[in-house]
Structure 1
């Protein structure tokens, strides 16, 4: 991470450690990073951030949390990453706090799009959409996840496809 910062000036890296109880010994809890070109690039994207996670397999069984934006050309822009031990409310809260501080930088009205995970929902309600805590943003569910969960519940591709069609309609396409 030091090399990333040294050779990519402006790259943000934030560490979180847990004391082990031994003198001067700490264990890595989380690490957040965002490359300077991605930070700058987000300023030219719409005010929407997609967040998700992926599990690492093999020797290292951590989870990577990721935030992405969409450029004006509809290309994916990876914005920020965090490695955590497991996805729970505390790790998502820490990720969103750093995302707000280092990427969004006080911009109001940014919408997060996520899946329906309990840890994500708890963190978003605390760190993103709660005006009592000085946070004013929006949250929406990822339509792909909604459709997948709908199919898992009802096992009907026709109904799933209708949910997709309904979710992708614009207000101009809806007849009253």
Structure 2
């Protein structure tokens, strides 16, 4: 029997013994020879199971089994099922690789179930996690190396799509302390999206979400809305965390590259302090041309967490924010003031034009939440544990697929 290489031979031997509930030891391993035997080969009574193999001569990587004595004759008392030892992460990786390729989010608990069903053994969470990690690196590249590959990949992306905006910066974030290494900031906005944004309504939703890869970090993104109320991805950024420096950097590049020629623009977001800092420091966001509006869903959530989780209050806050006329708005606010003074004080402390439709003067075009960016975040959830270059590649693929589907739908009208 011939195997293409030594790892394949070793996996085959390990799988056989694991399925039969036996253990084996390596008697010797040299450059071109390998011999293994049952752990009870020299016990009393002994088990005669042995296997010898050698590497074929020449430049070949193939290994051939030269001697094989079977079967195992271990008695029941010798059968200890050394599952955790024989079920290696490499063996698990071979089992789950097709599933991880189809869905990088494939859960650890599902991997444990797969191994139990296939091999009849239980593995630890750590081993299952490490096996998934190896699968991801096999399919999408090494996490650390991906940071080194990202600048070159982005340059190639610009060459193949002229007009695509990419900016990469290595920075040390003082807010994280001196114990942290420099982190790579990356911003990208694809040319097709920039060209088409001129036909969208002048409203951008911005949001951030966690990355779950080896080096953590955050993914910031901006998306717009078409006149048909369809989500329109615009720009992305990978940063170390959501802080003043990262939000200022992202919104500055957004203002310089995505909407520099628009006479007016509205940005809808939550009340993150980093976004406040950006509006206070970025010149392109000053002067009244760019309006800041708050997500009503976040405002309502803050009221619920600060005051009380009451269904009636929850409904009133939403009705006050979405009221079309100021009389309706005052009516809802009065109802809140009577029964929940603390909630009224919190809402009254926020500029009404920032969170209500009745005081907005039409800048937010009726978009009351950051749901577009939240939805886009959710659609990218599968790539948030991948290496950074894979994240950029998948955002490009998603945008290309979205544009192609919408073009096909438009041609069919």
**Same fold at TM > 0.5:** yes
Q: How many angstroms apart in 1 are the aligned matches of 2:327 and 2:233?
A: 31
Please name the residue that 2:251 is paired with. Answer: 96
- CA-to-partner distance for each residue in 1:101-160, whole Å, 9 max, x for gaps? 1111142321111101111111123225433xxx73110101111111112222112211
**Given the alignment, which residue of 144, 166, 175 partners 1:13?**
166
Matched with 1:161 is 315
Spell out structure 1 runs of 4+ moving beyond 4 A. Answer: none
Q: Distance in 1 between matches of 2:258 and 2:285?
A: 17
Whose Rg is larger?
2
1:23 paired residue number: none
Are 1:37 and 2:192 an aligned pair?
yes
Greater CA drift, 119-128 or 59-68: 119-128
> What residue in structure 1 maps to residue 100 of structure 2?
none
Which one has the bigger strand percentage? Answer: 1
Question: How far apart, CA to CA, are the structure 2 residues paired with 1:156 and 1:7?
Answer: 54
The alpha carbon displacement at 1:37 in A equals: 1.2
Distance 1:9 1:129 in 2: 27
Structure number with the higher helix fraction is: 2
- Asked if 1:55 is matched to 2:219, the reply is no
Cα distance, 1:27 vs. partner?
4.8
Number of aligned residue pairs: give it.
167
Deviation per CA, 1:10-67: give whole Å up to 9, x if none: 2110111248xxxxxx955311100111111211111111111011013130101111
Aligned-partner SS, 1:77 = strand
For 1:1-176, list aligned pairs within 5 A.
1-18=154-171, 27-127=182-282, 129-131=285-287, 136-153=289-306, 154-171=308-325, 174=328
Structure-2 change in CA distance of 1:168 and 1:44 (3 Å): same
Relative contact order, CA 8 A, sep 6+: which one is greater?
1
SS at match of 2:201: coil
1:51 is paired with a residue whose SS is: strand
Stretch of structure 1 that moved more, 109-118 or 3-12: 3-12
Q: What is the match of residue 22 of structure 1?
A: none
SS across alignment from 2:251 = helix
Any idea what SS the aligned residue of 2:187 has? strand
What 5-or-longer segments of structure 2 have no aligned partner?
1-153, 173-180, 331-413
TM-score (norm 1): 0.84
Q: If the length of structure 2 is used for normalisation, what is the TM-score?
A: 0.38
For residue 199 of structure 2, give the secondary structure of its aligned residue in structure 1.
Answer: coil
Provide closer, same or farther for how the CA distance between residues 33 and 174 of structure 1 changes in structure 2, counting only shifts above 3 A.
same
CA RMSD of aligned residues (A): 2.4
